[in-house]
Structure 1
Amino acid sequence: MTGPQIESQRGAGDPDAFQRLWTPHRMAYIKGENKPAGDDADGCPFCVMPSLPDEQGLILARGSAVYALLNLYPYNSGHLMVVPYRHVADYPDLDATEVAELGAFTQDAMRAVRKASGAHGFNVGMNQGSVAGAGIAAHLHQHVVPRWGGDTNFMPVVGQTKVLPELLGETRALLAAAWADVAETARP
Structure 2
Amino acid sequence: MLISMTNEESVLQEGAGEPDGFGRLWTPHRMAYIKGENKPTGPAAGDGCPFCTIPSMSDEDGLIVRRGEHAFVVLNLYPYNSGHVMAVPYRHVADYTELTAVETAEVAELTKQAMTALRAASGAHGFNIGMNQGAVAGAGIAAHLHQHVVPRWGGDTNFMPVVGRTKVLPQLLADTRKTLAEAWPED
Q: TM-score, normalised by structure 1?
A: 0.88
Aligned residues: 175
How far residue 27 of structure 1 moved from its aligned partner, in angstroms, is 1.5
Structure 2: gaps (5+ residues): 1-10
Q: 1:40 aligns with which of 34, 38, 44?
A: 44
The corresponding residue for 1:183 is 186
Distance 1:109 1:87 in 2: 21
The corresponding residue for 2:16 is 9
Deviations 1:35-85 (A, max 9, x none): 002111111100000000000000000000000000001011100000000
Distance 2:130 2:99 in 1: 15
1:157 maps to amino acid: V
Determine helix, strand or coil for the equivalent of 1:69.
strand
Determine helix, strand or coil for the equivalent of 1:183.
coil
1:122 maps to amino acid: F
- Higher-Rg structure is 1
The corresponding residue for 1:151 is 156
The corresponding residue for 1:25 is 29
Determine if contact 1:108/1:183 at 8 Å carries over to the other structure. no
1:54 maps to amino acid: D
Q: Which has the higher helix share?
A: 1
The corresponding residue for 2:174 is 169
Determine if contact 1:82/1:106 at 8 Å carries over to the other structure. yes
Structure 1: gaps (5+ residues): none
1:36 maps to amino acid: P
How far residue 173 of structure 1 moved from its aligned partner, in angstroms, is 0.4
Distance 1:35 1:52 in 2: 17
The corresponding residue for 2:91 is 86
Determine helix, strand or coil for the equivalent of 1:104.
helix
